Structure 1
Amino acid sequence: MSVEAERRIAPSVHAVALGSIGDAVAAQEIVTFGYVDARENVSRRRVEPHRQVYIELRWYLLGWDLDREDWRIFRTDRISEFHSTGTRYEPRPLPADSAVAYLRSGLGETFHRMRITIDAPIAAVADALRHEDARLSSVNHTRTEALLALDSWQRVLPALSYLDSNFRIEAPPDMATDITQFARRLTAAVQAHD
C-alpha cells in the first residue's frame, strides 16, 4: 500500500437517503420531511429540492421551502421521514451562481456569519482554519481578521485553542449567547477541577 488517508469523523448519512433526494431533484418533485434545526427545533417541511451539496464533510439539501416562500439549506443528517409527493414543480432561478456559492454565502437557514479578530499572523490563522470557509485579511503582521460562514460555532473552537492566541468574536446574538454560555461552563469546569 502506498497511500493512506486520515479518518475524519463526520455526520453519517445513509446512501438510500442521498439516493431518494437525488431522485426527487432529478424528477423535480416536491418533497416533505421532518427537520431538526441546530437549536433542536422540530418542524415539517414541504420543499422543491434543487441540489445536494457535499462540503466540509457534510451533505446539504438546497431547496425552495414552500411554506416559508424562500430558499433554505438543510443538513441532510437532520432530515427524517423523507417522502416524494409525486407533484412536479417548475425550477426557480437560484439567487447565486451555484448551489455551492449559495451555501458558502451563509444565506441559508443553518449558516451564520462570524467575524473573529485573532492576535496571530495570517499564515498561522490560515493553517488553523484550513478546513473552514474562512476569508482572511491581515490587519497587521501580528493580527488577522477571519470572516466565516458556519453552521455551528463549535467547529472553530479547536482551531482557536490550537492557535493559543487572544481573539475577539463578533457573531449574531443567538450564537454570541451560546458561545458566552459555553465559556461560563468551561470556566466553571476548570474551577471545579482545581
Structure 2
Amino acid sequence: MPETGTTQRVLRLLALLQQRPVWTGPELAGRLGVTVRSVRRDVDRLRDLGYPVNAAPGRGGGYRLGAGKALPPLLLDDEEAIATAVSLRLAAGGTVTGASEAAVRTLAKLDQVLPGRLRAEVRALQGAIATLDGGRVEVDADALLVLARACRDRLRVEFGYADRTGSASVRRAEPYRLVATGRRWYLVAYDLDRADWRTFRLDRLHDARATTFRYRPRDHPDPVALVQRSISVAPYPHRVRILLHADAATVRGRVPATVAVVEPAEEGRCVLSAGGADPAFVLLHVALLGFAFEVLEPEEVRGLAAELGRRLVAAGAVAESSA
C-alpha cells in the first residue's frame, strides 16, 4: 500500500478511537477494510507518534485511546466542527471565569483551519441564536479572532476607534492581550502614534485588520491591572484613595473589580482606589461596606467625609429625639 494510503488509514484509526471508549480488533479491521494484523501495525504507528493507545486482551477487551501527557489533535467531521465553533463563539461572551479568553484562543485556532463552506454555516447558525446576556456588551466575533491571532503572532494591527466622547480616529497598535471583564472586552496594546500603552473597548472598535508587520515584545504593564484601573479610576473627574481597616481579600469579595482597585496594606488593612462623578457617592458606598476607614487623598474629600459624618450624626440625633 502507498505511504499516503497508510497515513490516511492511521488518521481514520485515530478518528475511530476518539469516537467511543473501546473497539475490538475485528471491529476496527471491518471499519478500515484491512486485517486485524494491519490494525495492530497501525496501532503501533500511533504509539510511535506518542498517542497512548491501550490494549486489553480477552473477552471484553479491545483498544482504547488513553490519557497522555499532551492533548492529541482532535479529528472532527463537518457536524462536530460546526458544533464546536458555534459553542466557542457563544462561550466567548460567557460569564464563567477564564472561559471567555480560552474560548477566543481556541476559536482562533479552529477558525484558521475551518473550510470556507463550514465557516459560513457557523456564522449563519450564530446569527440565528439569541442569548439572555444580563447586560453584556456584544462585540464582533470576527474582530475578536483578528485581534487574538495578532496577539498570538505579534502582528501590528490597524482599526477605527471612537473614544468615550465619540471622537473617531484610526489607530495603529501592537496588540498584547485581550481582557474580558464579564460585561465588556478590552484590547491592551501599545499605541504607536501615542507612544504609550492603551486599553481599547472592542465595542467601540471597527474594521480591525492585522498587517504583515511583526513587532518585538516590549516591557509591558500587567494587562488585567491596566484594564481595571482604566475602567474603575481613570475615566472619572474625582479620584479617591481610602485606607480600609480590613484585609484586601475580604474587601475584594465585596467590591467588584470593575468598580475599584484594592491593594494590600500593612497590618491586615488595604487601600481602595476608585473614581466617580461625585466623591460623596464613593464615600457612601465605602461607608456601607461596614469597615472603619480613612480618606488618604485628596484633601478636599477628607473635609467632605467629615461633613457627611456630621450630617449623619445630626440625622440620628433627630430620629432619637422624635422617637
Whether TM exceeds 0.5 here: the answer is yes
The AA in structure 1 aligned to 2:153 is A
**Aligned runs of 1:1-194 on 2, under 5 Å?**
8-84=134-210, 86-96=211-221, 98-104=222-228, 106=229, 112=234, 114-115=239-240, 129-132=255-258, 133-135=260-262, 146-148=272-274, 153=276, 160=285, 163=288
Aligned-pair distance for 1:74?
Answer: 0.6
Contact 1:135–1:146, Cα closer than 8 Å, also in 2: yes
Structure (1 or 2) with the greater strand fraction: 1
Aligned-pair distance for 1:110?
Answer: 9.3
- CA deviations 1:9-47 (Å, max 9, x no partner) are 121112222111112222222111111112222111011
C-alpha change, 1:111 and 1:131, in structure 2 (3 Å) is: closer
Aligned-pair distance for 1:61?
Answer: 0.7
Q: 2 CA distance for matches of 1:164 and 1:28?
A: 43
Residue aligned with 1:25, SS: helix
Q: 1 CA distance for matches of 2:201 and 2:215?
A: 23
Aligned-pair distance for 1:125?
Answer: 7.2
Q: 2 CA distance for matches of 1:25 and 1:121?
A: 40
Query: Which runs of no fewer than 5 residues in structure 2 stay unpaired?
Result: 1-95, 97-131, 299-323
Residue aligned with 1:46, SS: strand
Contact 1:61–1:74, Cα closer than 8 Å, also in 2: yes
Max radius of gyration: which structure? Answer: 2
Aligned-pair distance for 1:58?
Answer: 1.8
- CA deviations 1:98-128 (Å, max 9, x no partner) are 3223333x3x59961731669x986997666
**Percent identity (aligned):** 25
C-alpha change, 1:125 and 1:71, in structure 2 (3 Å) is: closer
C-alpha change, 1:109 and 1:30, in structure 2 (3 Å) is: farther
- TM score, norm. by length of structure 1: 0.58
Aligned-pair distance for 1:164?
Answer: 10
Contact 2:150–2:175, Cα closer than 8 Å, also in 1: yes
Q: Greater RCO between the two (CA within 8 Å, min separation 6)?
A: 1
Q: Over the residues paired in the alignment, what is the CA RMSD in angstroms? A: 4.4
Aligned-pair distance for 1:89?
Answer: 2.4
Aligned length: 157
C-alpha change, 1:109 and 1:49, in structure 2 (3 Å) is: farther
Contact 1:36–1:79, Cα closer than 8 Å, also in 2: yes
Q: 1 CA distance for matches of 2:186 and 2:142?
A: 15
C-alpha change, 1:126 and 1:48, in structure 2 (3 Å) is: closer
- TM score, norm. by length of structure 2: 0.37
Q: 1 CA distance for matches of 2:232 and 2:256?
A: 21
Structure (1 or 2) with the greater helix fraction: 2
C-alpha change, 1:70 and 1:57, in structure 2 (3 Å) is: same
- CA deviations 1:128-162 (Å, max 9, x no partner) are 63353432789xxxxx97313x6xx47x9799499
